Amino acid sequence: MPKQPAFPGLRDAMKKKVTRREQFLAERDAVVPWGRLSALTPPHHPRVGPKGGRQPMPLETMRSRSATCSWCAGG
């Protein structure tokens, strides 16, 4: 029979490894004041036509993606 881990060892075994992506996003969120940045820029969303259409992407998501692309591209 396999040996059962003790409770302290079980907690360490259940801990998930932090990925590089999660670490990068945590550092980015710590550096950028997203709340103040959102307050500075007014929201602008395209209107959805009578025939329907694609729903606009949330403004915070657009800002986050744009900033991440700029930082990773070096520009």
Q: How high is the pLDDT of residue 62?
A: 81
Contact call for residues 56 and 45 (beta carbons, < 8 A) = yes
Evaluate if residue 14 carries a pLDDT over 80.
no
Q: How high is the pLDDT of residue 8?
A: 65
Evaluate if residue 5 carries a pLDDT over 60.
no
C-alpha to C-alpha distance for 16 and 71, rounded to whole angstroms? 27
Entry pTM = 0.53
Alpha helices in 1-75 (DSSP H): 7-14, 20-31, 34-40, 59-73
Residue 12's pLDDT band (cuts 50, 70, 90):
low
Tens of pLDDT, residue by residue over 24-73, are 889 988 988 888 887 887 766 667 777 777 777 777 888 888 888 887 77
